[in-house]
Amino acid sequence: MSKEVPIINIVPADAAGCGYYRLMQVGNQLQLHRHDVTISAAGKFRAFGQDVIYTQRMISGDLLKSLLEFKKQTNIKFIVDYDDLIWEWKGESLPEYNLCRERLDCKANTEAMKLYLNDLADIITVTTEPLKQSLIALGIPEEKIHIMPNCLSYKEWFYPRTPVPQENIFYYAGSYTHYDNKNRLTGDFDNGLIHYLSNKKVIVKSSVPFFIKPVHNFPGSNLNQYAADFYKETRGVKFILAPLADNVFNTCKSDLKYLESAAVGRVCLVSDFPNSPFASAHPFQKIPVGSTSTAIKYIVERATEHYDEILKYQYEYLNGRWLDNHLIEYKKLLGIPTE
């Protein structure tokens, strides 16, 4: 690296969820600690004396090749982050109901990453162990890949606890990557869960799945406002829903919704299957994939009975995932002196 204290440019792939949580939130925290870090507009790569570019989701052949040429011209160190399986692994990638399939060619991404990623990326960060294994399967050396789990920023996500309502009201905030309204695919929602929720009060944030009739629909939020809105909108609910289907794509996902639920003090009901990202959740908040509506009824009743115990467990889990306590790991990753 050309300087003892590196100049770092963070280039998110977008300004939505993954770009914000994985890169912009980190950059904001480092700036608060007076480190020489800039945050570019999404996808804008420029060279103004930077030593390191920290970016994400470098998948297409054209982009990888152009950035390789950019790297040769500037001698900038590249760190690349991935938070979802958007290439092929074990013969799978994006499930049929994930509408990102319409704009992503995962087969072409796989071939491009095999050819160019190892030359471009000096370091790769991922959210989970399965994502790390999927990159190793592409020929990326294991020592180059670092697992950096999703974290929450204390200043954005630390909220006071409020009384939990007595009534079982459910809250769902999930994007079109979890179901397909256009082709009527229920995606991450089991038939048993859909049947169970059919006569329950469900609040939905942003787009509404075709199989849910919500009692209220909150609009989507700008990421700068999302944490505050999520907290405010869940004061009258008892359970937050985080369903996932059992597939390879979901085994690579993170437990971000679980962290958010813990931060706002509401129990998160999660899907349970082998290698689920929610494997570490409390056993009384897990709904096994394929459960009947009757089985889910008893699971919810048990979760209600043990609500305080589960909530305490969630808070303890979240305490290990505050970004503020993991900044030293990012400093080491980026080459920032830690003394």
Confidence of residue 46 (pLDDT cuts 50, 70, 90): confident
DSSP code at position 64: H
The answer to whether residue 288 scores a pLDDT higher than 90 is yes
101 and 205 co-located in one domain:
no
59 and 163 co-located in one domain:
no
270 and 230 co-located in one domain:
yes
pLDDT, tens only, 76-86 = 999 999 999 99
Residue 314 placed within a domain: yes
* Mean predicted confidence (pLDDT) in 20-41: 93
Identify residue 101 by its one-letter amino acid code. Answer: R
pLDDT at 18: 83
pLDDT, tens only, 91-101 = 999 999 999 99
- Residue ranges making up the domain that contains 51: 8-151+322-334
164 and 146 co-located in one domain:
no
134 and 43 co-located in one domain:
yes
How many domains is the chain built from? 2
Q: Is the Cβ–Cβ distance between 49 and 5 less than 8 Å?
A: no
Residue 339 placed within a domain: no
Rounded CA-CA distance 267/249 in Å is 24
pLDDT, tens only, 115-169 = 999 999 999 999 999 999 999 999 999 999 999 999 999 999 999 999 999 999 9
Rounded CA-CA distance 262/257 in Å is 9
pLDDT at 14: 83
What is the secondary structure of 199-243 as a DSSP string?
TSEEEEESS--TT---SEEEPP--HHHHHHHHHHHTTT-SEEEE-
pLDDT, tens only, 177-215 = 999 999 999 999 999 999 999 999 999 999 999 999 999
The answer to whether residue 225 scores a pLDDT higher than 60 is yes
Residue 1 placed within a domain: no
The answer to whether residue 2 scores a pLDDT higher than 50 is no
* Mean predicted confidence (pLDDT) in 278-298: 98
* Mean predicted confidence (pLDDT) in 278-289: 98
Burial class (CB in 10 A: 0-12, 13-18, 19+), 338: exposed
262 and 202 co-located in one domain:
yes
Residue 223 placed within a domain: yes
Residue 3 placed within a domain: no
CA separation, residue 23 to residues 40, 176, 181, 235, 295 (Å): 11, 22, 30, 29, 40
Identify residue 121 by its one-letter amino acid code. Answer: A
Confidence of residue 40 (pLDDT cuts 50, 70, 90): very high
220 and 250 co-located in one domain:
yes
Give the CATH number of the domain where residue 287 resides. Answer: 3.40.50.2000
pLDDT at 197: 98
- Average pLDDT over the chain, rounded to whole? 95
pLDDT at 37: 94
* Mean predicted confidence (pLDDT) in 290-295: 98
Rounded CA-CA distance 234/228 in Å is 10
241 and 129 co-located in one domain:
no
Confidence of residue 5 (pLDDT cuts 50, 70, 90): confident
The answer to whether residue 339 scores a pLDDT higher than 80 is no
61 and 104 co-located in one domain:
yes
pTM to 2 decimal places: 0.95
35 and 177 co-located in one domain:
no
The answer to whether residue 300 scores a pLDDT higher than 60 is yes
pLDDT at 1: 41
What φ, ψ does residue 31 adopt, rounded to 5°?
A: -65, -40
Residue 216 placed within a domain: yes
pLDDT, tens only, 261-270 = 999 999 999 9
313 and 178 co-located in one domain:
yes
241 and 307 co-located in one domain:
yes
CA separation, residue 180 to residues 95, 183, 271, 273 (Å): 11, 6, 19, 22
Residue 172 placed within a domain: yes
Residue 52 placed within a domain: yes
